[in-house]
A and B are shown apart, each in its own frame.
Chain A
């Protein structure tokens, strides 16, 4: 098992930061010993979570950063992503698989995050903004 390490990133809230965060996540996953089979689910979950943070949280305001941290407790991949938006209650996000929501253009990101990660938790950060914590097991 790789030694425990942490990487922290602060990226401006623009669409280009999404690919940058995904690339960093995949590099980290590789370094801590994840197989390539895990890259796609990690890619999807990080992409959706960073998209939510830069677009819906920080409203694409490039003067505001998204704060991202990767670590590997017990060999797993632990990811936190924080924005500085007004926040939301995850339980209040409409279920995109309800028949009445199927033809909506948005609202599927959280479903994908839950699908591709083993554990996910959203909370309001004490100093403002939302923080998502995600775990992908080795």
Chain B
């Protein structure tokens, strides 16, 4: 089974990626990077990452979130985060990245924030 599974949904022009598994160095980080690059290549630059089922993330995974954020911004898009687990929230607090990302607990609120 893949380390990280990524399912894709569309809500209007917003692409929601439901992530489950581990975002760690190697396979997990690469899977996320490839998906974000593909979406940007398809002109989809409003992206919401649902991290509710991500059980584990390391510094490489956190770095991949940051890389995704900057890559999407560079294309004039927006990447936001949904459903942080306590562990991920703690890591984003430690790294002061909660000041960088827009974070939501409700998918409806997250989708509404793009308009």
Q: Residues of A with Cβ closer than 8 Å to B?
A: 15, 18, 40, 44, 47-48, 51, 55, 96-97, 102-106, 108-109, 111-112, 115
Contact = CB atoms under 8 A, between A and B. Distances in A.
Contacts of A105: 63-64, 66-67, 70
13 contacts: A47-B58, A48-B58, A96-B95, A102-B95, A103-B70, A104-B63, A105-B66, A105-B70, A108-B59, A111-B94, A112-B58, A112-B59, A112-B91
A15 B59 CA distance: 14
Interface of B is mostly: helix
B78 to A, nearest CB: 15
Contacts of B94: 97, 111-112, 115
What is the size category of the interface that chain B forms with chain A?
20 to 34
B66 A111 contact: no
Given A55-B25, A97-B95, A103 B59 contact: no
Interface of A is mostly: helix
Contacts of A51: 25, 58-60
Contacts of B63: 104-106, 108
A132 to B, nearest CB: 15
Contacts of A48: 58-59
Contact of A18 (B25, B69, B97, B99): B25
B86 to A, nearest CB: 11
A104 B63 CA distance: 7
Contact of A111 (B25, B26, B70, B95): B95
A122 to B, nearest CB: 16
Contacts of A106: 59-60, 63
Most buried by A among B58, B67, B70, B87: B58
B96 interface: yes
B10 to A, nearest CB: 27
In the A-B complex, list the 3 residue pairs whose CB atoms are closest, starting with the nearest. A105-B63, A108-B59, A109-B59
Nearest to A19: B24
Nearest to B70: A103
A111 B62 CA distance: 12
A105 B70 CA distance: 9
A95 to B, nearest CB: 10
Contacts of B87: 40
Given A97-B94, A105-B64, 10 more contacts: A15-B25, A18-B25, A47-B58, A96-B95, A102-B97, A106-B59, A108-B59, A109-B58, A111-B95, A112-B58
